[in-house]
Structure 1
Amino acid sequence: MHKNVYTADNAAMLLIDHQVGTIGWTKSHDVEEIKKNAILLAKIATAVGMPLVLTSSMEDNAQGPLLLELDETAPEAFAARIKRAGIVNAMDDENFNSAVKATGRKKVVVAGITTEVCVVFPVLQLLDEGYEVQVVTDASASFTKIGDDAALRRIEQAGAVITSTSQIVSELAVDWTMPKGQALGKLLNLGA
């Protein structure tokens, strides 16, 4: 096994601000595709027993609640979500930072809405704190394509790896014929 490979045993999934209001503000990607992939990431984490940390910002305001599909997919993580009161950088929120540390994992997969606000700053801090980070670009979105591209460039230059939902699924599957691989193949409708 390569040291850079993420597995269900060495990585955690962090989903940031996939909220009904915020997702509607994005124009950089197809909103339905972003929702589908964010929910798929939660299903993936649940299927392989990977720690899943959810957070939201100002749910009672225009940002709205987290996507209800996340509650259906991962009810325990949804119930334990960290509700931030307005802190932009989720890692600056003591409860979120503690939840990430409590996973015991130094490799994290991150997706969120918006890439240029809610993803970039926690990713920069995660990198500063010694985490290895993969950012799932097709489960994240921004106000504009230009803003999204700038955020991705900034975090990649800082040391994060830019990836996609299919890459994460495949990396975690390792072998499509093994139980974890078969479970993940079903999520991708591979007929594995």
Structure 2
Amino acid sequence: MAKTLPEPVRDPKSDRLLTPANAALVLIDYQPEQYRTVTSATPEEINLNVVALCRFARAYDLPVVVSTVGVDMGVNTGTTAEILAELPGVTEIDRTGVNSWEDEEFRNAVKATGRKNIVIAGLWTEVCLTFPVLDMQAEGYNTYPVADAVGGISRVAHDRAMERMQAAGATPITAIQFGSELMRNWARPDSPKFREVLQWYFPKRFALMKQGKIS
């Protein structure tokens, strides 16, 4: 018997996997000054996967929180234009501290999403991503650091940070895994949203591979 219909949809809010109704996306410190010192991944690979996160979030109407550090102080510039262009209507929340969870405006923005599953990425892995993840895990959130959309000042720094977050209960994922989890079933009427991102993603990825900018 041919299978052309989707399986029944589980409760999208209580589902143990990520769904458009139970998750939010948080992006931290994707600023030019941060990129300059990242060596565990190339800027091209990081941007490819962060843009994919943004496109999936927009396609499935997830709340998005974006934060920067040191912009109001005149130390840094804002989120890189390539990423910000994918998030129309999203306002950056600037901070002075490296741990975004210590910033009241940021905490309130995350709480305002009403979601406990937080898909999160930031630069550097070992600082601006790890610190809020540790705090959020301790406060009852389920965090999902996106391993291929982040980077540290060295491979060792990145890897140890991922291990530290996992030890605290965080669940690492990847950008395409995130989109697949939201989509879930090819027969659902909204699956073309996922296909559209893939049709952009893989040609872009293969082109960057040929250029030697990602592995």
TM-score band by shorter chain is over 0.9
Q: Is the 8 A contact 2:26 2:65 kept in 1?
A: yes
Distance 1:56 1:182 in 2: 32
The residue correspondences of 1:167-178 to structure 2 (distance < 5 A) are 167-178=177-188
Residue 129 of structure 2 is matched in structure 1 by 119
The one of 55, 61, 64 aligned to 2:67: 55
RMSD: 1.7
Q: Is the 8 A contact 2:118 2:141 kept in 1?
A: yes
Residue 87 of structure 1 is matched in structure 2 by 97
Distance 1:70 1:177 in 2: 30
1:12 paired with 2:41, answer: no
Q: CA deviation at 1:35?
A: 0.9
Which stretches of structure 1, 4 residues or more, deviate above 6 A after TM superposition?
Answer: none
The one of 77, 80, 83 aligned to 1:67: 80
Name the amino acid aligned to 2:27. L
Q: CA deviation at 1:39?
A: 1.4
Residue 110 of structure 1 is matched in structure 2 by 120
Larger Rg: 2
Q: CA deviation at 1:4?
A: 2.1
The one of 8, 19, 38 aligned to 1:26: 38
SS in 1 for 2:97: coil
Q: Is the 8 A contact 1:18 1:38 kept in 2?
A: no
Q: Is the 8 A contact 1:176 1:185 kept in 2?
A: no
Return closer, same or farther for 1:63/1:181 CA change in 2, 3 Å cut-off: farther
**Which residues of structure 1 form unaligned runs of 5+?**
none
Q: CA deviation at 1:88?
A: 1.0
Residue 131 of structure 1 is matched in structure 2 by 141
**Which residues of structure 2 form unaligned runs of 5+?**
1-9, 202-215
Distance 1:23 1:180 in 2: 34
Q: CA deviation at 1:19?
A: 0.9
Distance 2:190 2:32 in 1: 31
- The percentage of counterpart residues that share the same residue type is 35
Residues 73-106 of structure 1: per-residue CA shift (max 9 Å, x gap): 11211xx21011x211101100000000000001
Q: Is the 8 A contact 2:147 2:172 kept in 1?
A: yes
Distance 1:17 1:176 in 2: 34
Q: Is the 8 A contact 1:47 1:180 kept in 2?
A: no
Aligned residue pairs, count: 188
The residue correspondences of 1:137-152 to structure 2 (distance < 5 A) are 137-152=147-162
Distance 1:25 1:180 in 2: 39
Q: CA deviation at 1:62?
A: 5.3
SS in 2 for 1:141: coil
Residue 15 of structure 2 is matched in structure 1 by 3
Q: Is the 8 A contact 2:47 2:83 kept in 1?
A: no
Q: Is the 8 A contact 1:12 1:105 kept in 2?
A: yes
Distance 1:62 1:39 in 2: 25
Structure with a larger share of its residues in helix: 1
Residue 89 of structure 2 is matched in structure 1 by 76
Distance 1:110 1:130 in 2: 15
Q: Is the 8 A contact 2:52 2:176 kept in 1?
A: no
